[in-house]
Amino acid sequence: MPLILATLFPTDAHAQQSDILEDFRDESLQFKRSEQLGVRDRSQPEFDPVPYRIDGVEIMPSINIDAFYDSNIFAVNDASDDLIIRVRPKLTASTKFGNFNITTAAEVDHRQYLSTDSQSTTDFTLGLRGRYDISRESQIYIGTRNGQKTEDRTDPASPLNLQEPVQYRFASAFFGAAQNFNRLRIAARAGVEKRNYEDGRDGLDALVDQDFRNRTLWTGDLGAEFAVNPDISVFVNGSVNRRDYVSQPPSLPSRDSEGYEITAGTSFQLSKLIRSEIGIGYFQQDFEDAGFDDVDGFAIRGKLEYFVTPLVTLTARANRGVEESSTLGSGAFVATSVSLTADYELLRNLIVTASVSYEQDRFQDIDRDYDITGAAMGVEWRLAPRYSLHARYDFRDQDASGTFPGRAFSRHRFLVGITIAGM
């Protein structure tokens, strides 16, 4: 489904549970057609976790325990490595009252660095989502998501000179509605998210203020999709946003801005082997202060799936849009990314994945460009409905250029872990 419709039309309770803690502005462009599923989308009843069922409530507990080696924990040219233990317990519960479906979830994410304890972090997320089915053709959605997150040092917006990674608190909510008119589907949504960043310390232990990044993001989305036939649909999506920064130094230009993006395209299935969706359009972000340049350009959201065999799925993605920049002197950057992923079902309970990716970030207002190359390979081995093992290797190389080049580094990570879920 297109950007808006994919988020507002969950296909089943499992989709709601898996998405409840994700950002409600889902950027996925997958058009749901049940007759053909990729390797990772297929249900495997003999290996899928089974929830507890108590008086009409489905409860799914899980815990993910990983041990991994990171060759460059600070994401800098002069690399330092460490071993990290990551523990993520999660609890999801869902129930149905007549036409009302509700799902709630809570997750804690702790990373313990064995040699560099100052980098250890603990995050948490709480989520709640409800759907009211007015009729088979009409739905209303409401949800909220709150918690604390740690900004990855590889994030293009991450500060360069802090002793510890930046953490921030967030609170978000959304309201949406969807309506089917025979072959036409229309969905709309309004949302708000507030972030509050913690200050940090530089290498000389001086305070590095992060309050200038605190902001409230208001969003509105509207989408329509028309099914030409069972295999082809056309769609148009529009979104608007307003960014209000609440604690800006008087000596610096205001980061407040507003913008929009509109895309149109088609979703189609060219046979049982190829499924694709592509939307192309235009974005613009206007800053209130002349100290920051306005940003505009062409937008793209694309995904293509090729079902080579029932056991092999290739997925290609392409995206281009504007992103917020927290770098002093820059209000935004334009991110363009492409990726290719291969999933191979070696055995019924053993899936091997490999991927390559490339991203180009072009910053506004300052002379800085990032070219990011990535590669990864992983394996998931489902031992039983409750237990699965996984291993993964990923590589990231970030080249920085310009008068203010920013962060340039390479990083290797090796991970092994176990997931325990359900009853």
**Cα–Cα distance between 349 and 400 in angstroms, integer?**
41
Position 246 scores a pLDDT of 85
Q: What tens digit of pLDDT does each residue of 264-305 get?
A: 999 888 888 898 999 999 999 999 988 899 999 999 999 999
| Residue appearing with tokens 């290498």 | 203
375-400 core/surface letters (b: 16 or more CB in 10 A; e: else): ebebbbbbeebeebebebbbebebeb
Exposure letters 165-175 (e unless 16+ CB within 10 A, then b): bbbbebebbbe
What is the structure's pLDDT at 164? 92
Which pLDDT belongs to residue 20? 46
Which segments of 71-214 are extended strands (E)? 82-97, 100-113, 121-135, 138-150, 167-181, 184-197, 200-201, 207-208
pLDDT for 12:
37
**Residue 280: Cβ within 10 Å count:** 13
CA gap 253, 268 in Å, rounded = 45
111: its two tokens: 């990373």
Contact 295, 285 (CB under 8 A): yes
What φ, ψ does residue 213 adopt, rounded to 5°?
-90, -15
Q: How far apart are CA 378 and CA 389, in angstroms?
A: 11
pLDDT number for residue 368 = 92
Asked if 212 and 249 count as a contact pair (C-beta separation under 8 A), the reply is: yes
First to last CA, the chain: 33
Q: What pLDDT score was predicted for residue 419? A: 97
Q: Which residues of the chain have pLDDT under 50?
A: 1-31
For tokens 């804690």, name the residue.
Answer: 108
